[in-house]
Chain A
Amino acid sequence: MATRAIPKNTKKRKAVVVEEDVPAESSFPQDVGLELGSEDEGGADAEGEESDDGEVDEFPEIDARSDSEGPVSDSEDEEDEEDEEEEDEEEDLSDDDEIHIFPKAKTIVSDITGQPKRVYPDIEPDYDSDSSTEDAPNRVGNVPMHWYDDLPHVGYDINGKKVLRPARGDELDKFLETVEDPDSWTTAFDKKAQSDKPLSPEELDLIRRLQEGENPDAAYDPYEPTIEWFTGKGKEEVMPLSGAPEPKRRWIPSKWEKQKVMKIVRAIRQGRIVPNKPKSEKPQFYSVWNDEPSTHPAPLPAPKPRLPTHAESYNPPEEYLPTEQERKDWEETDKEDRERDFLPQKYSALRLVPAYNQFIQERFSRQLDLYLAPRIQRKKLQIDPNSLIPKLPSPSSLKPFPVYKSLSVPHQKGRVRTVSVSPDGGWVASGDESGVCSLWEVLVGREVKRWKFDGKIGAVEWCPRTDVSFFVVGVEDQLHFVVPPNLPTIVLTATLATLCPATLPPQPATPSPVKWTSVAAASYSTDKPVLSVALPPSSGVPKQLTWHRRGDYLATVSGGEGQGGVWIHQISRRHSQAPFQKVKGVVQLVLFHPTRPHFFVATQRYIRIYNLAEQKLLKTLLSGIKWISSMDVHPMGDHLIVGGYDRKLCWFDLELSDKPYKVIRYHTRAIRSLHFHQTYPLFASSSDDGAIQIFHARVYNDLMTDPLIVPLKILRGHEVKEGLGVLSVKWCPRQPWLVSGGADGQVSVWCS
């Protein structure tokens, strides 16, 4: 019995403790348990477990308390209790010590059967006796409560009457409840009652324990004293476990040990082992390099420190001594930033030289360098820096090119935006921002005629035809075709026949937004433009005008419009058309190819080449310039130069690649204008820094030779006004002369 009790007791340690701790509770007679614990062991265990973890399980359903469960378990147990009474008598009363609500039973011998039976006292209906009826009116049992979901009641009370579903508010009520009721967080939903029930302090304590990871049982004591069963006072073992006598080997010396010791003793005797023998040492130094060196290459030797210069002398020449200022500077700079780690000093005699106070620090820093500093092997270039400069032919061998300013024509108001030289090279038309366009002679600079237009002039361009003579002026939304005065009669009639023919060509089928208006040939005057082309309204000032080499087509680029503002006008048909439906990006410049039906279009960063005959894109050139400002094509048509506001000039060999053959950057400000000479191998670039750079640019017909670009001359003479320098440069077609218009209102001619 005792052996059986032990495991049980250990299993139910908690119960024992409770019994010990709370003697008041077990104040009822010892045999109470006997009657109570009527279950068999399995039952007791089950019940114990139930009572242990029942509390855990039942947490959501609140009213399933131990006291209400008591009767249930009791009723289950009652069937067995008769059979195993005797056994249960010995049972400790641990199991249900908490459930001591049962009234005491008396065992009497039944009058009828003659068997002993238990008789319980009558229940007195007072508060203490039984509270189950008050607490749990719903006797629906352990059924899923969703069976009652769409019914008005939630179950039946003990009398079989319906227990009505308590009124439940909506979500807002619930929320208000949580706000108003400070204890609402300690309530939980009770399924059986279908309402919120406050949690008891015990339950709250249980929840807290579970949250904190403690043992859920409040009564559990992890530090209970050990119960000594076999040891301790009065429980000493007095009898030996074995009665065998002590073996002999315990008290005689070991034979094997003796043999081992004797072996050593013999070795010592014979001198094979010498105790405390001085270690045989290799000599401290010997000829370590005598044997063959390894094939590994030696590690690189550490760089040697710098050797001392004259400045480090104890008696240096006077010029090495620092001035007061240098001394002060040296002392003020940080130690790491100093160019040398000492100040030169002069002593008249060697005996006066003191100890150098940084000696050890310098040695130490050298050692730090040796083991802490990363080392890099650097190749030292032993070349003359001037050999890096490319060898180019001397400019004097590449004459002629403009070298001096021969004359300059002032514009009174406004910057000169554009200049244009007539195809015979005798006249220059220049236009400024105040709307004045003046015509003057290249040779002497005499102004012949002046026109005044409304708004600023964006571009002026002479027609390249030699049989006629006129130029186009681009102003706000308008192109004006102007005939210069004093033309020979043949040229004048041809010009007028071109610009305002007697019979107008038939109107195209699709009406164009561009309107052509011309005066009658009879009423022509040089004061007024002969022909005007009204671009669509709000297309702005034409930024650029460019003629096809035959002089029949004219392309304009104006700023404002959506479709890129590119128009191609045909003089003979008096018709304008926009070549592009839609252009990616804003078109900056356009150019006709000098020999082929190709059309260059420069957007902000790219140059696209279209074939006008086949109406398709041929190539896109990637300049690498952030914003293209100017562009010109070589008269041969295979080379293109592009300048940008980011000071770069790109030379494209169109046969070679989409990328520039050469990118050079020499202007200090944005490049404004570029122009190739038609006959001489020259090109010029002008910039906002007020300088014009002349280059010799020779291209070769064979594909193997690279073009030769030689900078020849920097022409200075224009002033920079409001950040703008030379805005436009043009070559005279037959001479190596250059015409430039600047933001300072001057138009200059540069001669060779």
Chain B
Amino acid sequence: MGRLKKKGEAGAAKAYVTRSAAIKKLQCSLADFRRLCILKGIFPREPRHRKRANKGSSAPTSFYYAKDIAYLAHEPVLQKLREHKAFAKKLARALGRGEWSSAKSLEDHKPTYRLDHIIKERYPTFVDAVRDIDDALCMIFLFAALPSDGRISPSLVENCARLAAEWQLYVMHSRSLRKVFLSIKGVYYQAEVLDQTVTWLVPYQFTQSIPSDVDVRVMLTFLELYQTLLGFVFFKLYTDAGLVYPPPLDAKKDETAAGIGAFSLQDARSPPVQSSAQGSVKAVAVDGKRVSGKDVRQTIKSIQATSGPDADVDMGVSEPVEGQDEEDFVLQASSSNPQEPASLLTLQSLSAPPQSSTTKLFTPYTFWLSRETSRPIFEFLVRSFGGRIGWPITSGSGSPIEESDESITHVIIDRPLVVKENETEEERDRRQRRKYVQPQWVVDCINAGKILLEDTYAQGKTLPPHLSPFEARVDAYDPTATVDAAEASADEDEAAEDEAMEEDEEDTPEQAALKAAANARDAAALQAAELEAEAAGVDFGSFEKAAKKATRKSKKTAPQEDVAEQDMNKMMMSNKQRKLYERMKYGEKKRETEVSTEFCVELIQVMIIVLRSV
């Protein structure tokens, strides 16, 4: 006889533990448990039978895998948290007794923990980490824009801002930005790093304040993990790209709101002297390098702008080979000492995948940002697609070009058109030479992968709708497909015409031929009808029309029979299949109504426009 099975000794009862049981097992507070869960990426599970997992109770609780909790029990961070608890007690005791020296020595030996091993555990390979940095980037960009207060320390905000700038620098450097979307929530960016799409959302530049219903401690715990994760990811990305990590920051520039311009990418192969003697050398080096590199670029640009094709021509997908050369040259010039000869091609630069021409979309152009446009957004966009950009000093320092620069081809402006009265000759001349476009043009160009016509985006014009580049579903409603609407109306016309035709009963040979076409069902019959029509002297256009109509009609009748048959066949489905079928049909119908309502709205608008024009 087998041993009797006792209840609660195997299966779900053993595999799951409730949260309170987990806390009891780990002997830590709820806050510590939450922190551990966030750091280790442990989340509750939904047992198949809640009652079986909870010893027969159906009380609402969250369940964790018992193995997850056992795994947490060996976590070094948990040990450190316990040590910290003891430390806090000791420190409070020392402070309460006024033993300042011992408090100080305690403080010196404060237990701290590192998250390296957690990063390694959660992301065994680098690609895993890159795949999962979406949320991290969103948080970093959010906190980089937050004002510091009692809960959010200034150093944290500073660090977030630094990480955000480092990421942007890397994306610009590697030309990996793919899609941009200006939404009401913020700006969505999508980059492709190591074949992984990384999407992040950056809020618009306004002061945010943390609302009271948000638990900052949770966000800070996440941020702690994210900062570490991004640090390691960036380190790897930078070192793989042959750059020094962290990129040196020019404090003086940073003070003057230079933004990402305050950081300089430094080649790891450059002599170490430069990086070791940071303070003074950096500023000089940065300035000197920047200026020289820019000079070179500028000259090339100006040459190209004068000799190349006119800027308002719709730039094709292909780019002259010259552009490629120039790009490489610019890269080397900016990354290494300009005085030294350009280094030989290394394995790294050889193995770098050939960048598609869309990443050099703005290479031939130089942009000037108007005061009211957001510099961080457009500086990032333009520079990641190879363009040059300048901005007025009110948007921050570090602009490489002045407004009077001759090389400027586009001005990104977001204000209504105002006629300037006392305009000098020079100004007018300049205005006519430059294209004044609204900010959406830049984003739409990037999403389209080509330079769009500037006229529709010109200053003061009503903009065409800005569409999401992320709309991926195949059967989703496509607002650009306005052709269908026209076709539908044409169909209606045809139907009316058809009825009219049927009404007059004159049986001329032409009519008969058309009717034959209308009645023709299969290909052979159609061919015969066509021949007949030709003989009767019907022009091919009207014949084709009739044939099309016929096929449409037959399509209409055949499905009706089919539907009745299918409806009857449905009764032979099993219950399970029927339920599945009904669920799928429900979803399909819902999507269809969504599309159709939007289509109807558009149709109404088209009709209104038509009526107005009439």
| A contact residues vs B (CB 8 Å cutoff) | 282, 284-289, 293-294, 296, 298-299, 301-302, 304-305, 307-310, 312-320, 342, 344-345, 347-351, 353-356, 358-364, 366-368, 370-376, 381, 385-386, 388-392, 394-395, 664-666, 709-712, 714
User: Looking across the interface, which residue of chain B has its beta carbon closest to that of A315?
Assistant: B466
State whether A371 and B235 are in contact (beta carbons under 8 Å apart), knowing that A288-B120, A298-B125, A350-B182 are contacts in the complex: no
Which B residues are CB-close (under 8 A) to A284?
231
B62 touches A372 (CB 8 A): yes
Binds A, one of B76-84, B199-207, B305-313, B528-536: B199-207
A15 CA to B414 CA in the complex, in Å? 105
B236 touches A392 (CB 8 A): no
Where chain A touches its partner, the secondary structure class is loop
The smallest beta-carbon distance between B347 and chain A, in angstroms, is 17
A388 touches B218 (CB 8 A): no
User: Looking across the interface, which residue of chain A has its beta carbon closest to that of B571?
Assistant: A666
State whether A301 and B132 are in contact (beta carbons under 8 Å apart), knowing that A315-B440, A356-B203 are contacts in the complex: yes
Q: Name the residue among B122, B183, B231, B476 with the largest chain A CB count within 10 angstroms.
A: B183
Which B residues are CB-close (under 8 A) to A298?
122-125, 128
A307 touches B470 (CB 8 A): yes
**Top 4 nearest A-B pairs by Cβ distance?**
A355-B206, A319-B601, A307-B470, A666-B571
B584 on interface, CB distance cutoff 8 Å: yes
The smallest beta-carbon distance between B324 and chain A, in angstroms, is 31
Binds A, one of B37-45, B389-397, B491-499: B37-45
B184 touches A319 (CB 8 A): no
Which A residues are CB-close (under 8 A) to B462?
348
Contact of A389 among B46, B581, B588, B601 (CB under 8 A): B581
The smallest beta-carbon distance between B267 and chain A, in angstroms, is 18
B467 touches A310 (CB 8 A): yes
User: Looking across the interface, which residue of chain B has its beta carbon closest to that of A356?
Assistant: B185
State whether A386 and B573 are in contact (beta carbons under 8 Å apart), knowing that A361-B211, A371-B37 are contacts in the complex: no
A319 touches B605 (CB 8 A): yes
Which B residues are CB-close (under 8 A) to A313?
181-184, 465-468
A294 touches B124 (CB 8 A): yes
A132 CA to B96 CA in the complex, in Å? 74
B119 on interface, CB distance cutoff 8 Å: yes
A359 touches B125 (CB 8 A): no
B569 on interface, CB distance cutoff 8 Å: yes
Contact sample, A vs B, 17 pairs, CB 8 Å cutoff: A285-B232, A288-B119, A298-B125, A301-B131, A314-B466, A315-B440, A316-B467, A318-B601, A320-B479, A360-B214, A366-B138, A370-B222, A371-B41, A385-B585, A386-B566, A389-B573, A714-B568
Interface residues as binary, B146-189 with A (CB distance below 8 Å gives 1, 0 otherwise): 00000000000000000000000000000000000111111010
Which B residues are CB-close (under 8 A) to A373?
43-44
B213 on interface, CB distance cutoff 8 Å: yes
Interface residues as binary, B107-149 with A (CB distance below 8 Å gives 1, 0 otherwise): 0000000101001111111101101101100110010000000
State whether A367 and B572 are in contact (beta carbons under 8 Å apart), knowing that A299-B41, A313-B465, A314-B182 are contacts in the complex: no
A371 touches B43 (CB 8 A): yes
Which B residues are CB-close (under 8 A) to A287?
235-236, 239
Chain B interface size, under 10 / 10 to 19 / 20 to 34 / 35 or more:
35 or more
B580 touches A388 (CB 8 A): yes
State whether A308 and B468 are in contact (beta carbons under 8 Å apart), knowing that A285-B245, A293-B125, A376-B46 are contacts in the complex: yes
A385 touches B581 (CB 8 A): yes
B1 on interface, CB distance cutoff 8 Å: no
A389 touches B569 (CB 8 A): yes
Which B residues are CB-close (under 8 A) to A364?
214-215, 218-219
A301 CA to B123 CA in the complex, in Å? 9
User: Looking across the interface, which residue of chain A has its beta carbon closest to that of B138?
Assistant: A363
User: Looking across the interface, which residue of chain B has its beta carbon closest to that of A316?
Assistant: B465
A307 touches B199 (CB 8 A): yes
Which A residues are CB-close (under 8 A) to B573?
388-390
A318 CA to B599 CA in the complex, in Å? 11
B34 on interface, CB distance cutoff 8 Å: yes
Which A residues are CB-close (under 8 A) to B43?
370-375
Give the contacts of B441-478 with A (CB-CB under 8 A). 462-463, 465-468, 470-472, 476
A308 touches B572 (CB 8 A): no
B415 on interface, CB distance cutoff 8 Å: yes
State whether A359 and B581 are in contact (beta carbons under 8 Å apart), knowing that A298-B124, A301-B132, A313-B468 are contacts in the complex: no
Contact of B183 among A285, A308, A374, A710 (CB under 8 A): A308
B470 touches A309 (CB 8 A): yes
User: Looking across the interface, which residue of chain A has its beta carbon closest to that of B114?
Assistant: A282
State whether A354 and B206 are in contact (beta carbons under 8 Å apart), knowing that A313-B184, A664-B571 are contacts in the complex: yes
B387 on interface, CB distance cutoff 8 Å: no
B598 touches A319 (CB 8 A): yes
State whether A342 and B34 are in contact (beta carbons under 8 Å apart), knowing that A319-B479, A361-B214 are contacts in the complex: no
B565 on interface, CB distance cutoff 8 Å: yes
Which B residues are CB-close (under 8 A) to A366?
135, 138
Which A residues are CB-close (under 8 A) to B123?
289, 298
B605 touches A318 (CB 8 A): yes
Contact of A317 among B236, B373, B602 (CB under 8 A): B602
A354 CA to B199 CA in the complex, in Å? 22
The smallest beta-carbon distance between B414 and chain A, in angstroms, is 4
Which B residues are CB-close (under 8 A) to A342?
184-185
Give the contacts of B221-273 with A (CB-CB under 8 A). 222, 231-232, 234-236, 239, 245-246
The smallest beta-carbon distance between B178 and chain A, in angstroms, is 13
A309 touches B468 (CB 8 A): yes
State whether A367 and B219 are in contact (beta carbons under 8 Å apart), knowing that A307-B472, A348-B462 are contacts in the complex: yes
A714 CA to B37 CA in the complex, in Å? 61
Interface residues as binary, B415-441 with A (CB distance below 8 Å gives 1, 0 otherwise): 100000000000000000000001110
B568 touches A711 (CB 8 A): yes
B128 touches A301 (CB 8 A): yes
The smallest beta-carbon distance between A404 and chain B, in angstroms, is 15
A390 touches B128 (CB 8 A): no
Q: Name the residue among B120, B184, B372 with the largest chain A CB count within 10 angstroms.
A: B184
A353 CA to B203 CA in the complex, in Å? 11
User: Looking across the interface, which residue of chain B has its beta carbon closest to that of A304?
Assistant: B134
User: Looking across the interface, which residue of chain B has its beta carbon closest to that of A713?
Assistant: B568
B570 on interface, CB distance cutoff 8 Å: yes
Which A residues are CB-close (under 8 A) to B479?
310, 317, 319-320
B208 on interface, CB distance cutoff 8 Å: yes
Contact of B440 among A318, A350, A359 (CB under 8 A): A350
B129 touches A289 (CB 8 A): yes
Which A residues are CB-close (under 8 A) to B466?
313-316
State whether A390 and B601 are in contact (beta carbons under 8 Å apart), knowing that A345-B184, A360-B210, A375-B43 are contacts in the complex: no
B577 on interface, CB distance cutoff 8 Å: yes
Which A residues are CB-close (under 8 A) to B199?
304, 307
Which A residues are CB-close (under 8 A) to B581?
385, 388-389
Which B residues are CB-close (under 8 A) to A348?
462-463
A356 touches B45 (CB 8 A): no
A301 CA to B119 CA in the complex, in Å? 13
Which B residues are CB-close (under 8 A) to A345?
184
Give the contacts of B573-591 with A (CB-CB under 8 A). 573, 577, 580-581, 584-585, 588
A664 CA to B573 CA in the complex, in Å? 8
A310 CA to B601 CA in the complex, in Å? 15
A390 CA to B572 CA in the complex, in Å? 7
Which B residues are CB-close (under 8 A) to A320?
479, 598
Contacts A307-B468, A312-B183, A361-B214 known; 20 new A-B pairs at CB < 8 A: A293-B125, A294-B120, A302-B41, A309-B476, A312-B181, A318-B465, A318-B605, A348-B463, A355-B206, A359-B142, A360-B142, A360-B210, A371-B41, A374-B62, A376-B46, A385-B580, A389-B570, A664-B571, A666-B571, A710-B572
